[in-house]
Structure 1
């Protein structure tokens, strides 16, 4: 089982994750895509990665704005798995900017 990070560790990690914010209860990032279909395409790509690593973000879609929230529900806090998923989400969002 993954270990919950300390408040300081979460703060330190968030410094290296542009656009992400949060605390011990979870980390989140909202992104605005070019169109609703592009927002759905990004969510689809994140879903594939989430299944591969068996770690799933909470996702909220509002037209072109998608909010990703990462927390390890089974341990009640932020773990390394959440930070790794956040980095993967950033890669997907970055790749969509290049399309």
Structure 2
């Protein structure tokens, strides 16, 4: 009898613990998808920093010099960007 009461209590506790949680998925934004796409191309050049100029061309920033990636145009706003976590 005591075992039955404990089992029912566990079942009731597990049902109440799971009943109130609503799960949802947050889809990635177009901005984060575009930034990830550009970062993949920039990191292939051995750097994590890049700049987008007024013509929306991507310029990886490297110590050895910078050159435009001719095959890559972006919708990101002109400015400087950093790929990855910045500590």
Which structure dedicates a bigger proportion of its chain to strand? 1
Which structure ranks higher in relative contact order (CA pairs < 8 Å, sequence separation ≥ 6)? 1
Which structure dedicates a bigger proportion of its chain to helix? 1
Give TM-score, length-normalised by structure 1.
Answer: 0.30
Give TM-score, length-normalised by structure 2.
Answer: 0.32
Which protein has the larger Cα radius of gyration, Structure 1 or Structure 2? 2
